[in-house]
Structure 1
Amino acid sequence: MTTGRLHSFDISTGVDGPGTRFVAFLAGCPLRCQYCHSPDTWYRRSGRPTTVDDLMTEIRRYERFIKVAGGGVTLSGGEPLQQPDFVREVFARCRQLKLHTALDTSGFLGDRADDELLDATDLVLLDIKSGDPATYRQVTRTGRLAPTVRFARRLAERGTPMWIRFVLVPGLTDDPANVAAVAGIVAELPSVQRVEVLPFHRLGAAKYAAMGLTFPLADTAAPGPGLLDRVRGQFRDRGLVVC
């Protein structure tokens, strides 16, 4: 039985895939995004060893509820593709229960997702952090844009539904050319169902303080309505459905 590292789980509605979701947050992430609101999930050691059976026992407790609510199971993080064997087995078991599955990922480790894992994935929530490689590096501090784009194109070729997520940070990701580059990438992916422009917030600042870390964007304000409208308009101008 495969064992993963589980940080926590929660029940959410409308933000981690369709309907009401059982969301499991796996521990470990290779990126260090400046706007990350969950630094407590960065390291594998922050999660507790959990077998697939352990997690499925928790999921089964909510099975009837999430089915009635038109939801399913989302694996998030951290970065779930740091633990692809665990993800594959959990999703395969969820499929046996006829539970909708969603993978919340940056795509940076997309090459680790084999066809069997993706065959058991109904939806990918793909976080495209930037359309410009230099900005992507600045945002993530450790990552490269190319693996995410490669993964996105692979998903599109397979016909895997995607919801694209883009975090709008004033002074970091809001440059019109950067947004246009993200929109250009997404417009070429026919299986994208929607784009979510997510306004930056500082709700995770307390976690940084508790861990003795400096929050890189402590002095950055949330984007105003005008900026949000402009950025959402750039995506709509490419024929994309924007939320």
Structure 2
Amino acid sequence: MKTKTIMFVTGAFVTHHCWDEWREYFEARGYSTLAPAWPFKDGTAAELRARQPNDVDLARLTLAELVDHYAGIAKSFPEKPIIIGHSLGGLITQILLNRGLASAAVAIHSVPPQGIIPYEFSFLKSTWGALGLFTSLDETYLMPFDTWQYAFVNEMPLEEQQKAYDLFTAPESKRVARGGLTSAAAVDFDKPHAPLLLTSGSLDNIIPAHLNNRNFERYKMNGSVIEYKEFPGRNHHTLSQAGWESDADYILDWIKNY
């Protein structure tokens, strides 16, 4: 039996180390995995925060460049990988799937593609600062702890919220954040695609389940395999939130049966 490759795609505001436990989980079950860092974000959260706000290379990164970065990696394999992305990484996963670069895809709490208007107040409250209006685009944005508490780790004990912030939170490109409002975030919902699973969490503030469901509903039932799953009690920090293994179990079973 051939070993299948899973490529994990990281979202905004955090480092690629958010996938470390997921990589161990799937590798223990026979998969080959990788979680490539974003350009200019290959470091620990502490190392990246030490560059804040003057990491000009990261600040000038665009969403189109970021998508192409992951597309180039996906194309480097002899066979199409399974692609799993979280948040903005979920949007990138949907775009890569749309380009025909995945054998199957899972978008976890995905930022919606262009055309799905995120009117939910909690989304706007969580992401407004990242757009960096009236600030220099050559300076990176670091999500403040109080925003992190609301957007990522709501309903978790304070000690766990702080630990997660210290381990994972990293500066971000405002250009990438703004790219989500442009054609760089476009998906052709009518185009047939490889199997796709979209997941959401009932406690997620930054990407509410209602927004994820509208993302799912935009895909046409044109014969492509597509599924939507909402997990109760999950916030946006679902990759490391206590009990994350149940989400991974569900995704593993789905991958095996697509």
TM-score (structure 1 length as normaliser): 0.36
Which is strand-richer, 1 or 2? Answer: 1
Return the structure number with greater relative CO, CA threshold 8 A, min gap 6: 2
TM-score (structure 2 length as normaliser): 0.35
